[in-house]
A = this chain, B = another copy of it.
Amino acid sequence: MLRPLCIAVFVAFAPAAHAVSAEHLEANKKAVAVNKKDFEAATKFLGPRYVQHNPNAVDGPEGLKAYITFLREKFPDAHSDVIRVFADGDSVIQHVHSVPTPGSRGNAIVNIYKLENAKIVEHWDVIQPVPEKSANNNTMF
């Protein structure tokens, strides 16, 4: 199974806290969307710690950098679309369609990011290959 892309779409979060305004949450979402293709920028928004829950990635900021490098080398033509974004308190949730190789069905991904002081400090994801067939006509997105 391909190691799915799951790190390509977060950068430029605005500051977040447990109690934040609706405008603030919307700004977070827009910032994520605008910068979704800027892979390298991601590391600029990491905090001093980075708790990684993706089981294929090593813990910590250095682990994320290594994982990004690995993915870019293995899937240089990968493309990710952020289909929808949610924000709640200090968390941002993305529903993503990631296509590691052009023409493949790709993966459905949900990323959950926790922020502190405008920096990403924790990441979870769930990744599922898009199946060839479905019992409905609605797609996974």
> Does A24 lie at the interface of the complex (its beta carbon under 8 Å from any beta carbon of B)?
no
- Determine if B136 and A63 form an interchain contact, defined as CB atoms under 8 angstroms apart: yes
Whether B126 pairs with A128 at a CB distance below 8 angstroms is yes
0/1 per residue, A51-76, Cβ < 8 Å to B? Answer: 11111111100010000000000000
A110 vs B124: C-alpha distance when bound (angstroms): 10
Which residues of B have CB within 8 Å of A22?
Answer: 19
Is there an interface contact between B138 and A51, defined as CB atoms closer than 8 Å? yes
- Enumerate A100-141 residues with CB–CB distance to B below 8 Å: 108-110, 112, 124, 126-128, 130-131, 133-141
In the bound complex, residues from chain B placing their C-beta under 8 Å from that of A136 are: 52-55, 57-59, 63
Q: Is A27 at the interface (CB under 8 A from chain B)?
A: no
Residues of chain B within 8 A of A112, CB atoms compared: 84, 86, 95, 110
Q: How many angstroms from the CA of A84 to the CA of B122 in the assembled complex?
A: 14
Question: Shortest Cβ distance from A57 into chain B, in angstroms?
Answer: 6
Is the beta-carbon distance between B88 and A25 smaller than 8 angstroms? yes
B141 x A53 contact (CB < 8 A): yes
Q: Give CA–CA (A17, B78) in the complex, Å.
A: 36
Extra A-B contacts (13), CB below 8 Å, given A54-B136, A57-B135: A52-B138, A53-B139, A55-B131, A55-B136, A56-B135, A58-B136, A59-B136, A87-B88, A93-B110, A95-B112, A95-B124, A109-B126, A126-B140
